[in-house]
């Protein structure tokens, strides 16, 4: 009988309660009980918390005393005297000595590490999202020393010249152009693309209203570089069917098209 009772007790085991929150969720981000109600339900008032010691409090605690009390002999001297631990200098330099300022521990921009997204490799077709060429598809050539991307349209297809763009403002597509054999001029650097200041001509006698501001003109050097780069890329684009039309088309979103569901 005793064995049967034990067997019956083993069979009727209580089901394990799964861990659940004390505050059931009614809707996304909205709980059944308020913050004050949960404070009472969790019995937080019984717990004692101590705020962690701040850096300023630690410094105050660890700060060495600036003065010391020293015994002084003599009946009329009061017995004790407060003396500074660190005495002020007797002599000061006549001229200010230049001192190096404490740095904030951050490196200047020229020493930052240039990183490139894994999806962006030489020959990747990118979609520009900002600027006058937004929505256009371009071919990525290389990353410059400043971290900016060097891209080209080519110019004959979508009127995008050799230019720099930031990797934040582009979408990398899965389409690629094989540019392994393309030779880029070595002088295509950040200094090459630096904007030149347009000077205003000085007013001369009798030419108060006739003077015009200097206009920007494309140099022959840039035109030659554009031809050398594009001529090599265009040959590779012609080999791939429908790629020329793809680069010419402009990317845009229409009603019912969601960017997070698109596969580029």
Q: Is the pTM of this model over 0.75?
A: no
Which whole-number Å values give the CA distances from 89 to 43, 86, 217, in the listed order?
60, 9, 65
pLDDT in tens, the chain (264 residues): 555 555 555 567 777 777 778 898 888 888 899 999 999 988 888 887 777 888 888 877 777 788 999 888 888 887 888 989 888 888 888 888 788 777 777 888 888 899 999 999 999 999 999 999 999 999 999 999 999 999 999 999 999 999 999 999 999 999 999 999 999 999 999 999 998 887 776 666 555 555 667 788 889 999 999 999 999 999 999 999 999 999 999 999 899 998 888 988
């Amino acid at each position: 009988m005793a064995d049967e009772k034990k067997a019956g007790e083993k069979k009727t085991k209580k089901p394990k309660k799964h861990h659940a929150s004390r505050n059931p969720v009614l809707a996304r981000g909205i709980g059944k009980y308020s913050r004050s109600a949960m404070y009472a339900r969790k019995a937080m008032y019984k717990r004692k918390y101590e705020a962690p010691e701040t850096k300023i409090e630690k410094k105050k605690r660890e700060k060495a005393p600036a003065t010391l009390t020293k015994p002084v002999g003599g009946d009329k001297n009061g017995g004790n005297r407060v003396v500074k631990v660190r005495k002020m200098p007797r002599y000061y330099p006549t001229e200010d000595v230049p001192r190096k300022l404490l740095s904030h521990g951050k490196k200047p921009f020229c020493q930052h590490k240039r990183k490139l997204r894994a999806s962006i490799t030489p020959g990747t077709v990118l979609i520009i999202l900002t600027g006058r060429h937004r929505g256009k598809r371009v071919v990525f050539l290389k990353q410059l020393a400043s971290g900016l991307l060097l891209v080209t349209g080519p110019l004959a297809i979508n009127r995008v010249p050799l230019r720099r763009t930031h990797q934040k403002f582009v979408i990398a597509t899965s389409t690629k152009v094989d540019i392994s054999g393309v030779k880029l001029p070595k002088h295509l650097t950040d200094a090459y693309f630096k904007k030149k200041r347009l000077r205003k001509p000085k007013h001369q006698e009798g030419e108060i209203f006739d003077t015009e501001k200097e206009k920007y003109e494309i140099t022959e050097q840039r035109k030659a570089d554009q031809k050398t780069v594009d001529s090599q890329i265009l040959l590779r684009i012609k080999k791939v069917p429908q790629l020329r039309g793809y680069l010419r088309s402009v990317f845009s979103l229409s009603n019912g098209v969601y960017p997070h569901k698109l596969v580029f």
